[in-house]
Amino acid sequence: MKVISSLDDAKSFINDHKSDETISLIPTMGNIHSGHLKLINSASSSSLKIVSIYVNELQFDDRNDYISYPRTLADDLSICEDNNVDLVFAPDNSVICKQLDSDKNDLPKFTSYMCGANRPGHFSGVFRIVKFLFKIIEPNYAYFGKKDFQQLLLVKYIASTYFPKLKIIDVDTVRDSNNIALSSRLSKVSRESLHQVKLIFQTLMIMKKKLLSGLEYNDVKESSLLDLEDNNISVEYLDLRSLETLKEQVNINHPCGIFIACYIDNIRLIDNIEI
């Protein structure tokens, strides 16, 4: 496995391989867990597997969140090597910031919903780094998880708009034995609070069952919010939205899902479930 931090070295490596190998890209911010491993292992074993590790400052609306984001590069590299990754691109922040496209305006409307409404600049930061990585790595395939569903739609928009030959592969959310969606931020939640985290997906499952039985979403949402808040879970949003446009829905007549963002131990967690 090769580890590269230089932009020029990364370009050289890609140029040496792109003519005769299929390139699979798995973008991460490090702190690699089983969710990332599913992305890595979803890529074809015959392709050149490239994992990028970069904590993107631009997508953090809270400076303290960026500073405290878990960074475990040595462990990440070991995990990547054990899982047959060919190249880890782990650039320095100063290198990236000089290269990023300054265009912040080409964002689809759905980025103003949900996380976009509450995290100023977040999706602009995602847009800029993802577009940069696609331009530098020139992958044939890129792998993203469904847990960050709004981000996934943005990534698909970037690919279809600027990189039409690139295929985005979405991968189902990885959950532990308690159906908790794995994430890097989960490691910051105290052990004592994990019983609260379990309630997130449990609540989504209950809501889905009620909707399928014919209950109105507003009634289901109201009771679910009360249950969550009674368990000291602060809810940022709990929405029924289209899987295609992320517009709010009042019923389940079209493909839709329930999306949640909430705080436990002051840690922001998200999840979703398709109906």
Q: pLDDT (tens digit, 9 = 90+) per residue, 201-223? A: 999 999 999 999 999 999 999 99
Q: Which of 108, 141, 171 is a domain's end point?
A: 171
Q: pLDDT (tens digit, 9 = 90+) per residue, 223-248? A: 999 999 999 999 999 999 999 999 99
Beta bridge pairs of residue 51 = 26, 88
Q: State whether the Cα torsion 7-9-11-17 is positive or negative.
A: negative
Q: pLDDT (tens digit, 9 = 90+) per residue, 120-177? A: 889 999 999 999 999 999 999 999 999 999 999 999 999 999 999 999 999 999 999 9
Query: What's the pLDDT score for residue 9?
Result: 95
The parent domain of residue 192 ranges over 184-274
Q: Specify if 126 maps to a domain.
A: yes
The catalytic residues are: 36
Query: What's the pLDDT score for residue 102?
Result: 63
Cβ contact 239:114 at 8 Å: yes
Band the pLDDT of 48: cuts 50, 70, 90.
very high
Band the pLDDT of 26: cuts 50, 70, 90.
very high
130 and 265 inside one domain: no
Query: What's the pLDDT score for residue 94?
Result: 76
Band the pLDDT of 249: cuts 50, 70, 90.
very high
Q: What is the pTM assigned to this prediction?
A: 0.94
CATH number, position 255: 3.30.1300.10
Q: Which of 137, 171, 205 is a domain's end point?
A: 171
Look at the chain and report how many structural domains it folds into.
2
